[in-house]
Amino acid sequence: MSEAIDTAAFAVHAKNVRRMIVEMIYRAKCSHIGCSLSVADILTALYFGVLRFDPAHPDDPKRDRLIMSKGHGVAALYATLAERGFFAREELDSYGTDGTRLASHVVRNALPGTETSNGSGGHGLSLGIGMAIAARNAGNGARIFVVSGDGELEEGSVWEALLFGSHHGLANVTMVVDQNGMQSEGSTETIIGIEPLADKFRAFGWDAAVVDGHDFTQLIPAFSHSGSRPRVVIAKTTKGKGVSYMENKWQWHNSSPNDEQYKIAMEELS
């Protein structure tokens, strides 16, 4: 990775991803648009600036793996994979329809690049820890990246996996927390407070960095580390990022835009 980060190019990819997210969810009349928009820059940074893989050979055993633990934000993953060339963008039109390969939560191997099935919050890191051990035993250099939401940190299984990862020194696993501060029924801090989050991760033996989750000059370098401990990147984000009337509104976790709202959103993302 070059030291110079072409933020303009990353911004174009991220805007394309956000437009595809809005189109998919509007067309399917389904939910999870706010949490998909918040993670768009994180996935753009990873797929265009960090992960080692070949879209033409998605099963390469030496590839880096990304686990979308916040599986309800799958629209962002599908859009990013299409933008990166894993499959044709036209297939996004089938999102949320009968017989589609694009389910409303992540399904393992349904599409190139979907590594695990996810949807029930709190399980992705455990899967990632297992993959990290397998990669280390195989000696293939594969790295594991787990994208989590802050709401799912309320699950006890996350903290068990954190203990296991640090105990075994799994420096080949990185957790990314999309900390948009909201979940399906309100703010994360109101429902179950999780701060001081970075201190808690460090107490569990993980290296922790806190960054602006919409700033590529902070995001991309944060994923590069050479320590002996597993790493977590806490990315501060805005729910509904990019669409003014959705930003910081928890109600857009379970809503889809109507015709007029769709038109406004696409104009703002043009």
What whole-number distance in Å separates Cα of residue 186 and Cα of residue 239? Answer: 12
The confidence score (pLDDT) of residue 86 equals: 96
Q: What is the mean pLDDT of residues 77-88?
A: 96
State the pLDDT at residue 170.
97
Going by pLDDT thresholds of 50, 70 and 90, the confidence category of residue 2 is very low
pLDDT in tens, 200-213: 999 999 999 999 99
Please, which residues have CB within 8 angstroms of residue 126's CB and are 6 or more apart in sequence? 157, 160, 161
Per-residue model confidence as pLDDT tens digits over 40-49: 999 999 999 9
By DSSP bridging, strand 173-179 and strand 144-149 are parallel
pLDDT, averaged across the chain: 94
Contact call for residues 205 and 38 (beta carbons, < 8 A): no
> Between β-strands 186-187 and 182-183, what pairing exists: parallel, antiparallel or unpaired?
antiparallel
Query: Looking at residue 121, what is its pLDDT?
Result: 82
How is the beta sheet containing 65-68 ordered, strand by strand?
65-68, 144-149, 173-179, 231-236, 207-212
pLDDT tens-digit map of 85-123: 999 999 999 998 888 998 878 889 889 999 999 887 889
DSSP state of 61: T
Instruction: Report how far apart, in Å, the C-alpha atoms of 183 and of each of 42, 239, 240 are.
Output: 18, 9, 12
DSSP 106: B
Q: Which amino acid is at 41?
A: D
Reported as a single tens digit per residue, the pLDDT across 249-270 is 989 888 899 999 999 999 999 9
* Phi then psi dihedrals of residue 181, to 5 deg: 80, 5
């309100």: which residue's tokens?
A: 186
Structure confidence by residue, pLDDT tens digits, 5-39: 899 999 999 999 999 999 999 999 988 999 999 99
| Domain topology for 7-268 | Rossmann fold (3.40.50)
pTM of the model: 0.95
What's the pLDDT tens digit per position in 159-168? Answer: 999 999 999 9
